[in-house]
Chains A and B, each alone.
Chain A
Amino acid sequence: MPYLNVDEVETALMLAAGPPNTAFTELISLPHQTWDGRTCHAIRISAASGSDRVGICFTGGLHAREWGSSDILISLVQRLTDAYRTNSALTFDGKTFAAADIQKIVNHIDLVIFPQVNPDGRHYSQTVDAMWRKNRRPAADPGDVGVDLNRNFDVLWNFPAYFNPAAYISDSTNPASEVYCGPAAASEPETQNVVWLFDHYASIRLFVDVHSHGQLILYPWGDDEDQTADPAMNFQNGAYNGQRGLAGDAAYREFIPACTQANAVTLGTRMRDAIFAVRGKSYTVQQAFALYPTAGTGHDYGFARHFTDATQGQILGFTLEWGAQFQPAYAEMQHILDDVGAGLLEFCLAVLDMHADVMIKDSPADTGAVPSGGAFWSDSDIFLRQNDDDVLAYEDARQGQTNYVYVRVTNLGPNDAQNVSVRLRAAMYPGTEFVYPADWTLVDAAHVEPAAMVNTWASIPAGATRIGKFSLTAAQVNTLFGWQQLQHHPCLLAAVEACNDLGSPAGVHVWENNNLAQRNVTVATADESGDVQFVFVAGHPGRGGQVVHLLIDRSMLPVDALVTLETKPRPRVFPELKAQFAKSLTVLEARQGISRLEAGARERFAIVGRRAVIGLRLDRGIRPLLLRVHLPANAEPRAKFEVRIAQMGEGRHAVGGVTLQIVSKLIT
Chain B
Amino acid sequence: MARYRVTITAGRKLMLELPVEEDVTVLDHGVRRLKEDRYSADVIVDEKRLGALAERGYQVERHEDVDQAGRERQLEVGRGNRFLKPR
- Judge if B5 is at the interface, Cβ distance under 8 Å: yes
- 0/1 interface trace, chain B 48-69, chain A, CB 8 Å (1 if under): 0000000000000001101101
Give min CB distance, A383 to chain B, whole Å. 52
- Residues in B with CB closer than 8 Å to A168 are 16, 19-20, 26
- 0/1 interface trace, chain A 15-45, chain B, CB 8 Å (1 if under): 1000000000000000000000000000000
- Residues in A with CB closer than 8 Å to B45 are none
Known: A8-B83, A131-B66, A290-B33. A329 touches B73 (CB 8 A): yes
Q: Which residue of A15, A130, A211, A290 contacts B70 across the interface (Cβ within 8 Å)?
A: A130
Q: Which of A260-313 contact B (CB under 8 A)?
A: 284, 286, 290-292, 294
Q: Which residue of A11, A218, A284, A290 contacts B81 across the interface (Cβ within 8 Å)?
A: A11
Cα A324 to Cα B40 in complex, Å, equals 13
Cα A248 to Cα B15 in complex, Å, equals 14
Cα A303 to Cα B71 in complex, Å, equals 37
- Judge if A366 is at the interface, Cβ distance under 8 Å: no
Q: Which residue of A130, A150, A211, A215 contacts B73 across the interface (Cβ within 8 Å)?
A: A130
- 0/1 interface trace, chain A 586-626, chain B, CB 8 Å (1 if under): 00000000000000000000000000000000000000000
Is A8 within 8 A of B31, CB to CB? no
Give min CB distance, B87 to chain A, whole Å. 9
Q: Which of B13-34 contact A (CB under 8 A)?
A: 15-16, 19-20, 25-33
- Residues in B with CB closer than 8 Å to A284 are 32
Give the bracket for the number of chain A residues in contact with chain B. 35 or more
- 0/1 interface trace, chain A 199-238, chain B, CB 8 Å (1 if under): 0000000000001111110100000000000000000000
Is B30 within 8 A of A213, CB to CB? yes
Give min CB distance, B83 to chain A, whole Å. 4
Cα A325 to Cα B66 in complex, Å, equals 9
Known: A5-B79, A325-B64. A216 touches B69 (CB 8 A): no
Give min CB distance, A527 to chain B, whole Å. 73
Is A3 within 8 A of B78, CB to CB? yes
Is B78 within 8 A of A291, CB to CB? no
Cα A216 to Cα B64 in complex, Å, equals 20
- Residues in A with CB closer than 8 Å to B44 are 131
- Residues in B with CB closer than 8 Å to A129 are 70
Give the bracket for the number of chain B residues in contact with chain A. 35 or more
Is B12 within 8 A of A247, CB to CB? yes
Is A213 within 8 A of B82, CB to CB? no
Q: Which residue of A215, A248, A294, A330 contacts B76 across the interface (Cβ within 8 Å)?
A: A330
Q: Which residue of B3, B16, B19, B71 contacts A247 across the interface (Cβ within 8 Å)?
A: B16
Give min CB distance, B27 to chain A, whole Å. 6
Is B28 within 8 A of A2, CB to CB? no
- Judge if A126 is at the interface, Cβ distance under 8 Å: yes
Chain B residue with the shortest CB-CB distance to A167: B16
Is B19 within 8 A of A292, CB to CB? yes
Is A178 within 8 A of B64, CB to CB? no
- Judge if A46 is at the interface, Cβ distance under 8 Å: no
Cα A321 to Cα B27 in complex, Å, equals 12
Cα A247 to Cα B39 in complex, Å, equals 13
- Judge if A415 is at the interface, Cβ distance under 8 Å: no
Is B25 within 8 A of A179, CB to CB? yes
Q: Which residue of A4, A65, A214, A291 contacts B16 across the interface (Cβ within 8 Å)?
A: A291
Is B81 within 8 A of A131, CB to CB? no
Is B15 within 8 A of A213, CB to CB? no
Chain B residue with the shortest CB-CB distance to A212: B29
Known: A8-B81, A291-B12. A327 touches B70 (CB 8 A): yes
- Residues in B with CB closer than 8 Å to A247 are 12, 16
Interface core residue of B3, B33, B70, B71 (most chain A CB under 10 Å): B70
Known: A214-B30, A215-B30, A290-B33. A8 touches B69 (CB 8 A): no
B interface residues with partner A (beta carbon < 8 Å): 3, 5, 12, 15-16, 19-20, 25-33, 39, 41-42, 44, 63-64, 66-67, 69-71, 73-74, 76-79, 81-84
For the complex of A and B, 9 pairs with smallest distance between CB atoms: A130-B70, A214-B30, A327-B73, A11-B83, A168-B19, A214-B29, A290-B31, A2-B76, A5-B78
Q: List 23 A-B contacts (CB under 8 A).
A: A8-B83, A127-B74, A127-B77, A129-B70, A131-B44, A168-B19, A168-B20, A170-B25, A170-B27, A170-B28, A178-B27, A213-B30, A214-B30, A214-B31, A214-B42, A216-B31, A218-B28, A248-B12, A290-B32, A290-B33, A324-B30, A325-B5, A325-B64
